[in-house]
Amino acid sequence: MAELPKGWEARGKPLALFRRFEFERYGTTRDFLDALAALSDETGIHPQNINFGSTYVNITLEGAAGSEPGEQELMFAQRINDLRKPAGN
């Protein structure tokens, strides 16, 4: 697998990409979840699992059809990272 986007690790069998995001409050967590849902709508890629509480979101990305994560998932992981970077504000 190519180099992982910042903060992501590969774990499990079949191998999956995993990252935990932490937030200061529920409103920020919620904004991130909404942006993530919009990103899934745009790309047609849905994380295998999303686990969240008021101030954290854990995301697991598997490859298509149980295969290892590939270029598509690595790019999706990078775009999830980018959701945390506000553009122009």
Chain positions contacting a copy of itself, by CB under 8 A: 26, 30, 37, 46-54
Contacts of 64 (CB under 8 A, 6+ apart): 70, 72
State in angstroms the smallest separation of the CB of 45 from a copy of itself.
11
Residue 19 zone, left/alpha/beta (φ > 0; ψ -120 to 50; rest): beta
Nearer to a copy of itself, 6 or 31 (CB): 31
> Is the Cβ–Cβ distance between 6 and 17 less than 8 Å?
no
Nearer to a copy of itself, 29 or 74 (CB): 29
Nearer to a copy of itself, 4 or 50 (CB): 50
